[in-house]
Amino acid sequence: MKIIIVGCGKVGRTLAEQLQEEDIDLTLIDTVAEKINVISENVDAMGIVGNGASINTLMEAGIETADILIAVTASDELNLLCCLIAQKTGHCQTIARVRNPIYSKEIGFIKKRLGVSMIINPEFAAAQEISRLLRFPSAIKIDTFARGRVEMLKFKVMPEFGLDGMSISRITETFRCDILFCAIENKNSISIPGGDHIIHDGDLVSMLATPQNAASFFSKIGLKTNQVKNTIMVGGGTISFYLALALLDMKIDVKIIEKDKVRCEVLSDLLPNATIINGDGTDRSLLLEEGLPQAESFISLTNMDEENVFLALFAKTISSAKLVAKVNRLAFDDVIDNLDIGSVIYPKYITADYILQYVRAMQNSIGSNVETLYHILDNQAEALEFAIHENSPVIGIPLSDLNLKKNLLVCCLIRHGKVRIPRGQDTIQVGDTVIIVTTNKGLRDIRDILEN
């Protein structure tokens, strides 16, 4: 497969690094040579310095034989123009990053009339992820499958849960909830566990279940399952706007602190039901005055990663709020994850996962299709949702009899809308949706779960 990426910023770089693992012929286009050179140090790709909306530049990049063009420059309009010209010049699928809220209500028109295959909005996607976390504040991270029927929730094992020293099989027997522990992280290891794996305090556990079963399990171990009633956001950017809309729909009180007066006036017009405060969100006295110690959630969404992290650390010392911090730069993600500041949102990773899901789906055979894809366990594993369209070597055979790859778990079967955590005698059938978690990268078809 041949892919052209226009725009070599943070998203372009993240995409290039992940697509390199997919055995793809990659070409990068950017107007700044240095950006291409930086990526080329780590990624095997051809680089072209030029304007991605120029026919000559696209022809040089091989647009006539390309399968996908991905436009992720800083300009929405340039991204759409790149896609439009690519379609007129070649016969490829096109993906555009479009961030401006003005276009959010016109996505259907853009895709239909301009022929863009996929529109990705990182700010909207990040806002959706944060809103899920505020609905279920005990989770550090929530990924959804099967259109919300199944969720993967990540939480930290605390001493008060009483799970220390228990095996996974004993936990499921004791609490009698239809859940599956599908990944365990601690300081020493990352693993996809079996039933005899012992859980310890401090472990980060990723669990797969329906929202109802997850709530039941969390309730039994003493974790809060009710959504928050109010939130304080620092930063009034695009993510804050999208998030405020979602939270107000959820009947959550929203307070936004933004230091730019003009932006505050805009937000006041767009969000009449939210409280907009014109002030410096890093001012300790202002945060105390606006009720941070009593707040149920606190979200730091400024344009500076350092501010977001320090604000979350400060909020942790004076409140019991659910904490969410946005981080754009990816170089220190492992350091930030060790700070224990609650949930950290990386819009660049979210964008890359959506696009990689689309690429993976294009590579599928007709027998099955990747519907959803998430990178989990600090990017060392993948959670994938497959739709099974026709017969294949995995159909009709008990899971216990399949020669599955190591470090691979069949986590969930959805059949006729009903969700089932599978056991050894369960089988995969045509029409099923199957959720897989594995450290084996690059699964494109359901048959890839089998050892060769």
Residue 408 in tokens = 């691979």
Residue 420 in tokens = 């089932």
CA distance 15 to 172: 38
Question: Is the distance from CB of 313 to CB of 304 less than 8 angstroms?
Answer: no
Q: What is the pLDDT of residue 39?
A: 93
Report in angstroms the alpha-carbon separations of 123 from 126, 361, 362: 5, 23, 25
Q: What is the pLDDT of residue 249?
A: 96
Give the position of tokens 């099989």. Answer: 169
Residue 107 parent element (H or E)? helix 107-113
Nearest by Cα to 358 from 98, 121, 95, 96: 95
Q: What is the pLDDT of residue 332?
A: 66
Residues of the chain with pLDDT under 50: none
CA distance 118 to 107: 9
Residue 136 in tokens = 């279920």
pTM score over 0.75? yes
Question: Is the distance from CB of 247 to CB of 238 less than 8 angstroms?
Answer: no
* DSSP state letter for 198: B
**At residue 126, what are phi and psi to the nearest 5 degrees?**
-65, -40
The pLDDT tens digits for 385-429 are 999 988 889 999 999 999 999 999 999 999 998 999 998 999 999
The Cβ-side half-sphere exposure at 106, using a 13 Å CA radius, reads 11
Nearest by Cα to 297 from 331, 347, 339, 256: 256
Domains and CATH numbers, the chain: 2-120 (3.40.50.720), 136-221 (3.30.70.1450), 230-345 (3.40.50.720), 367-449 (3.30.70.1450)
